[in-house]
């Protein structure tokens, strides 16, 4: 590998385009893979499979249905709905060859239930052989989300004790919630299944803000991370205008 492998997150990039066209644009812009929010469950599976074959892009993962509460796996009153959403995501992932599923806990407020979340995660693990991801989301972005703290996520992984349950490490969320993002990475690197990048504090293109990705990306690889870097950021202008940031982060 002579360059970093970047994945285009279609939930953030080219949102003005139809979902299928976002995938084509990702390929045209030289991305190595794509990752989805929950667009794939709403798309025509045949058309989606065709465009993936056409572009040759790998699907790293997708979210369960998000809805108004950003998932519902930790909401006890919505157990059946949460399991159905997981089953649908698994079916979609298997049809298109997605490598992972992000099971969102949900904006639970006072209804957050850890046992419900654990039950849903165990169901996801038992129902497929796909990697299951959980993501700590910072309070600044979503104050009523169930899972904020990466140590809390690590405790859940330790309790369930399945190597296919991993942490989705979003650099923006970790920096916002904890600070010292690289320290948190090194503390939890054995549990991390995927890394997403964006600037901090704006959550824009990664070549600005207080996180120096020129250093961080090399450090991730040196520490043994061998995956892709998911580009989940809010472009300041048209995506193509800002993509020159990738030129700053090439391996020699």
- Cis peptide leading into 201, omega within 30 of 0? yes
Residue 54 designated active-site:
no
Q: Which one is catalytic: 35, 39, 205, 232?
A: 232
pLDDT at 110 over 90: no
Q: Over the stretch 162-210, which tens digit does the pLDDT of each residue have?
A: 999 999 999 999 999 999 999 999 999 999 999 999 999 999 999 999 9
- pLDDT band at residue 2 under the 50/70/90 scheme: low
Can you give the pTM of this predicted structure? Answer: 0.96
CA angle 227, 93, 33 (to 5 degrees): 35
pLDDT at 44 over 90: yes
For residues 222-240, give the mean pLDDT. Answer: 96
Look at residue 132 and tell me whether its pLDDT is greater than 80. Answer: yes
DSSP notation for 81-127 = HHHHHHHHHHHHHHHHT-SEEE--B-B-GGGB-HHHHHHHHHHHHHH
Cα 171 from chain centre: 11
Residue written as tokens 């910072």? 138
Is 135 known to be catalytic? Answer: yes
How far is it, in rounded angstroms, from Cα 139 to Cα 151?
15
Question: What's the distance, CA 133 to chain centroid?
Answer: 8
- What are the tokens at 195? 């890394």
Q: Which two tokens stand for residue 182?
A: 């690289």
Do 228 and 217 touch, CB atoms closer than 8 A? no
Token pair recorded at residue 49: 């499979």
DSSP letter for 244, please: G
Q: How far apart are CA 207 and CA 243, in angstroms?
A: 10
Of residues 35, 135, 175, 205, which has the active-site annotation?
Answer: 135
What is the spatial distance between Cα 157 and Cα 135, in angstroms, rounded to a whole number? 12
The pLDDT of 225-250, averaged and rounded, is 92
């Amino acid at each position: 590998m002579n360059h970093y492998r970047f994945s285009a997150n279609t939930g953030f990039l080219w949102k003005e385009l139809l979902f299928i066209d976002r995938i084509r644009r990702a390929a045209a812009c030289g991305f190595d893979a794509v990752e989805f929010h929950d667009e794939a469950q709403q798309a025509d599976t045949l058309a989606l499979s065709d465009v993936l074959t056409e572009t040759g892009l790998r699907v790293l993962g997708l979210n369960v249905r998000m809805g108004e509460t950003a998932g519902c796996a930790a909401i006890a009153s919505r157990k059946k709905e949460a399991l159905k959403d997981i089953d649908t995501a698994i079916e979609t992932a298997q049809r298109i060859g997605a490598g992972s599923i992000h099971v969102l806990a949900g904006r639970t407020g006072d209804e957050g239930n850890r046992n419900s979340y654990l039950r849903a995660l165990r169901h996801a693990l038992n129902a497929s052989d796909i990697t299951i991801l959980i993501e700590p989301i910072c309070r600044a972005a979503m104050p009523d989300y169930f899972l904020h703290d990466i140590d809390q996520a690590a405790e859940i992984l330790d309790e369930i004790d399945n190597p296919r349950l991993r942490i989705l490490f979003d650099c923006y969320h970790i920096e916002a919630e904890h600070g010292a993002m690289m320290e948190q990475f090194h503390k939890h690197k054995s549990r991390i299944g995927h890394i997403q990048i964006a600037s901090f504090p704006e959550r824009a293109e990664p070549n600005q803000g207080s996180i120096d990705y020129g250093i961080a990306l090399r450090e991730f690889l040196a520490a043994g991370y061998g995956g892709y870097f998911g580009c989940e950021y809010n472009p300041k202008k048209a995506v193509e205008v800002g993509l020159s940031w990738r030129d700053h982060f090439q391996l020699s």
